Amino acid sequence: MSARGGGRGARGGGRDGGGGRGRDGGRGGGRDGGRGGGRGFSSGRGGGRDGGRDGGRGGGRGGGLSESMSNLSLVAPPPPVKSTLLPRQTNSLYPSRPSFGTLGKKTVIWANHFQVSIKQNQGDVYHYDVMFAPEGKKPSQDLPAKDLCATVLRYLVVQLKQHYPNIACVTDARRNMYTNTALDFEEKMFKVTFDDDGRSRVFDVYVKIADPAQVRLNQIDQLFTGRLNYTPYDAIQALDIAMRYSASLRFTSVGRNFFTNNNAQSLGEGAEMWYGYHQSLRPTQSQLTLNVDMSATAFVEKMAALEFMVQTCNFNSTPQYLSKQQHSLASKMFRGVKIRVTHRGTQKRQSRVNGLSPKSARDTFFEDENGKKMSVVQYFKSQYGITLQYPDLPCLHVGNPQGKIYYPIEVCATMEGQRFMRKVNENQVANMIRFTCTPPEERRRRIEAQVQSAHFETDNSLEAFGLSVSPTMMSVEARQLPEPDMLYAKNQIERPNGGQWNMRNKGFAAPSVMKSFAIISLCDPRRVVERDIQEFFEALVKQMGDLGMGKPS
């Protein structure tokens, strides 16, 4: 073999009959003949480019043609494989419903859904991402506090409407913004300034077009006319945010619920119940509807901070000082609560409480702006002319947890509009049930009243996005199923009347027997003593016996 011979041979089996790297063939045929002869087949480097992709890279370095061809074998490529695609499915993945039920008495009922209409030929809406940070800083991917997001985006929309008076903007008070017409930029920074308790705050707000940017509302019509086999949730989300936007500016929002302090009911122990409503845009079988229902939740009751401490800690009266146990309990009750100071006239600065100071106001010292060391008691006397009535109580530690800002409890008050984050106790739950228990007809009237209070018919944002909401609940056909028979002990049978049945002097048809038991009381020992638990269990055992369950051993 001359020079380097025929190389190490073909690389073998390329795609569709390629050569390979055998001992006598060079790098050989790649795809459809491959890269050709490779290193061999003729002397010198030969061939140049004339071998192309169907003849290889030319002759290669050495080995004569006859020497290489003597061991060459040709194999016919396999026939090309034809792909077989399943037919595209245009119908639902679920089997068709064979029929409708017939059992029971037909009737018509109200459903807490309200018909939503979209204007014909309504154009697309446009999605933008919003991020912000204090002036001069870069925004991070982490979401700022919810209240701050809502405030910054609210002022951003005001500014955008000044620049683009004919464009409607709505936001989710977090990071998403939608407009009914495309803005004339892909990314832009705005300076947003607002007053926060007498302090001017400035933020750099970055608005960037999302990907994808266009939200096609005509897909909703295609869905309900059978021309689309998936639900366009991006379009529904955009319209849902548009429907919630105006309410978010006028009511206090918690999750997907809106609340107002109109007709608030005191639950005791620092909490009060606010009424509100839940709303959600839903696609049904044939149209969009707005699902609305009543809701109620506990908020912190607005009151003096001293009174809040007395109520939440179940003190009989305002203490002059706190024991170690009382200090721990009061600190827990105040933690996370927003307060306003009452000693600064119109400047009612708000803060969030971290807990209580370790020492009393009399024994909590700091240095003033002149470097003079003084106690909180002395500072309030010299600065505001206030003589503290409870100098031996601790202060509220507010603001930065690492900072040292302390307010005497007696110059603070809890703020309304903040959710009661602690678990409500049994008494508060009982009060909530009593306040919210309403007959169906009264519930319907209240829901329709909530829809009217939302003022959908005069909502400019809804009009700009082509939406309208019917003020009347939808009615749907229903069937009232027959009541099942109730089987009791000794084969006694009773048919309920109006969904009610009486178990007095009756036992279970197949009672179980409790062979052993244990009692765990999670009740507050200040409210429920051991004798109460014993009486409850004795009554429970008697009732079990009356029902045929026998007495536990």
In order, the DSSP letters of 466-505 are TEEE-SS-EEEEEEEPPPPPEEBGGG-EE--BTTB---TT
* Partners of 59 in beta bridges: none
Tell me how crowded residue 394 is: count the other CB atoms within 10 A of its CB: 25
Nearest Cα to Cα of residue 492 among 505, 479, 480? 505
pLDDT tens-digit series, residues 139-187: 988 888 888 999 999 999 999 999 999 999 999 999 999 999 999 999 9
In whole angstroms, what is the distance from residue 81 CA to residue 71 CA? 30
pLDDT in the model for residue 91: 53
Phi-psi group of 454: left, alpha or beta (phi > 0 → left; psi -120 to 50 → alpha; rest → beta): alpha
pLDDT tens-digit series, residues 243-294: 999 999 999 999 889 999 999 999 999 999 999 999 999 999 899 999 999 9
pLDDT in the model for residue 72: 53
pLDDT in the model for residue 546: 86
CA distances from 529 to 314, 525, 535 (A): 17, 6, 10
Q: Would the pTM count as exceeding 0.75?
A: no
Query: Three-class SS of residue 56?
Result: strand
Indicate the range of 31-40, 72-81, 221-230, 391-400 predicted with least confidence.
31-40
Indicate the range of 92-101, 186-195, 507-516, 519-528 predicted with least confidence.
92-101
Regarding predicted confidence, which is higher, 475 or 515? Answer: 475
Q: How confident is the model at residue 87 (pLDDT cuts 50, 70, 90)?
A: low
User: Hey, CA dihedral for 232, 234, 240, 246, is it positive or negative?
Assistant: negative
Q: Which two tokens stand for residue 520?
A: 């765990």
pLDDT in the model for residue 323: 96
Strands 394-398 and 405-408: antiparallel
Query: Stretch 239-244: mean pLDDT, rounded?
Result: 96
Q: How confident is the model at residue 30 (pLDDT cuts 50, 70, 90)?
A: very low
Do 279 and 290 form a contact (C-beta atoms < 8 A)? yes
Q: Is the pLDDT of residue 41 over 50?
A: no
Regarding predicted confidence, which is higher, 316 or 69? Answer: 316
pLDDT in the model for residue 497: 84
| Mean pLDDT estimate for the chain | 84
pLDDT in the model for residue 40: 40
* CA within 13 Å, CB half, 368: 12
Output the CA angle 166-151-200, nearest 5 degrees.
Answer: 105
Phi-psi group of 150: left, alpha or beta (phi > 0 → left; psi -120 to 50 → alpha; rest → beta): alpha
Q: How far apart are the first and last CA of the chain?
A: 102
Supply the CATH classification number for the domain 305-414: 2.170.260.10
Q: What are the CB-based long-range contacts (under 8 Å, 24+) for 68-74?
A: 68/6, 68/24, 68/25, 68/26, 68/40, 68/41, 69/41, 70/24, 71/24, 71/25, 72/24, 72/25
Q: Is the pLDDT of residue 376 over 80?
A: yes
pLDDT tens-digit series, residues 382-393: 999 999 999 999
In whole angstroms, what is the distance from residue 530 CA to residue 526 CA? 10
pLDDT tens-digit series, residues 294-351: 999 999 999 999 999 999 999 999 999 999 999 999 999 999 999 999 998 777 788 9
pLDDT in the model for residue 70: 52
In whole angstroms, what is the distance from residue 127 CA to residue 145 CA? 22
pLDDT in the model for residue 19: 41
Q: Is the pLDDT of residue 449 over 80?
A: yes
Q: Is the pLDDT of residue 528 over 70?
A: yes
DSSP3 helix / strand / coil % (the chain, rounded to 5): 25, 30, 45
User: Hey, CA dihedral for 224, 225, 231, 234, is it positive or negative?
Assistant: negative
pLDDT in the model for residue 498: 78
pLDDT in the model for residue 37: 40
- Identity at 276, one-letter amino acid code: G
Strands 288-300 and 338-341: unpaired
pLDDT in the model for residue 32: 42
Domain boundaries, the chain: 1-78, 125-215, 305-414, 513-546
Percent of the chain exceeding pLDDT 90 equals: 59
User: Hey, CA dihedral for 49, 51, 56, 61, is it positive or negative?
Assistant: negative
